[in-house]
Amino acid sequence: MLGLDKKDSTLLLIVVALTMLAPFILNPFPTESGLAQFNAGYPDLMQRFVIFGIFAIGFNILFGLTGYLSFGHAAFLGIGSYSAVWMFKLLSMNIIPAILLSVVIAGIFALVIGFVSLRRTGIYFSILTLAFAQMSFALAYSVLTPLTNGETGLQLTLNDPRILGISQTADGSIPVTNLFGLEMRGAFDLVVGPWSFTFSAGYYVCAVVMLLAFYMSIRIFRSPFGLMLRAIKSNQQRLNYTGLNPKPYTLAAFVISGMYAGLAGGLMAAMDPLAGAERMQWTASGEVVLMTILGGAGTLIGPVLGAGMIKYFENIFSKINDNVLHSWFSFMPDGLEDSVVFIIHPFVGKGWHLTLGIIFMLVVTFLPGGLVEGGQRIARLFRRKKTVEPKSAKTEPAE
């Protein structure tokens, strides 16, 4: 199917099903239930799942295939966001031109940064990319204020000289982003008994883009180009001895990875037309590294799983405060209830980073292949067949 073998086609179909049915899968608990705290099926969070999934997929093409660890990919995420917002301000509120510009501009910056950074390998490459990202952050935050609006962030105004659209609507408000008239903030709710499911136009647009990005990553992984990148990761010195120059391949991987990051940044701006310098911070670059390693570097679906897990902790797990804990353990005697809440308190709410850090430590220690390796181990347990001892051959005495 689509040029993929049976295994990859099955994986793609699974990702399609999970993505399209996300409003149902992420809302397993009734709205009025105490466990509704764990529901994650609201549009803004679902959009973050798939957008950061795209970001992690692109980073995995560089890190997972070549082994080059970049700590500066957030620069391309921010560049993509700024490019998209400027396209909204100057041309049209249609998201297609904005996303295309985001990918192109991020690719150009990745070409320049990669050309310089790839002159070094290992930790020196990582430090160079980090330096470029921090320079980009400093430029966006202060030096290039006329282009980025500094610490306030670049956003739409009623005075934008939009060529192919109106600057303000009839009621005097700012137009919303759209896809040929389909508003990205449009949504409708489906109520089924005690459950409520929200279907957002913006989420499904991002989901389709993520599926296309995921399909492209599969083709890259299975292509001769992907095999060459794996050879670079395996032993670049031996590759040099064969007479092949790995630099064009690593630069191409860096540019493709940067374009994925620009695509993610453009989608972020398409869903919420605002671009700030904080998207270029080194912490954002570190976050995508955690996503990729947590899910499984070098695997196809791992970065998506890692992105979903981290964003779930950031947006859902972090909202579990003392009041929620007391409501959960209210059936206990007062003294015991307070003790249990006191023990759990450091690991939830504002302390969600501690829980995520412990999980990351356990995954790195016991599952070097990330969550994907954990899933494979569980699958092998279920697929394990009982070995049946062959019947011993009977020997008949010679007559």
Q: Where are the domains of the chain?
A: 6-28+41-281
Amino acid identity of 55?
F
pTM: 0.91
Question: What is the rounded CA–CA span in Å between residue 146 and residue 365?
Answer: 47
Burial class (CB in 10 A: 0-12, 13-18, 19+), 327: exposed
Mean pLDDT of 263-269: 94
Tens digits of residue pLDDT in 201-228? 999 999 999 999 999 999 999 999 999 9
Amino acid identity of 125?
F
pLDDT at 385: 60
Place of tokens 């992907």: 226
Q: What is the mean pLDDT of the chain?
A: 88
DSSP letters of 115-154? HHHTTS-HHHHHHHHHHHHHHHHHIIIIITHHHH-GGG-E
What are 188's strand-pairing partners? 199
Closest-CA residue to 22 (of 36, 39, 41) = 41
Q: Quick check: 266 and 101 in contact, CB under 8 A?
A: yes
Place of tokens 């070549």: 66
pLDDT at 193 over 90: no
pLDDT at 172: 80
Tens digits of residue pLDDT in 72-92? 999 999 999 999 999 999 988
Place of tokens 């070409």: 111
Amino acid identity of 218?
I
Q: What is the CB-side half-sphere exposure of residue 73 using CA atoms within 13 A?
A: 37
Question: What is the rounded CA–CA span in Å between residue 157 and residue 18?
Answer: 37
Cβ burial 341-370 (10 Å sphere, 16+ → b, else e): beebeeebbebbeebbeeebeebeeebebb
> pLDDT band at 378, cuts 50/70/90?
confident
Question: What is the rounded CA–CA span in Å between residue 179 and residue 96?
Answer: 7
Q: Where are the beta strands (DSSP E) in the chain?
A: 154-155, 178-179, 182-183, 187-192, 195-200, 274-275
pLDDT at 26 over 50: yes
> pLDDT band at 313, cuts 50/70/90?
confident
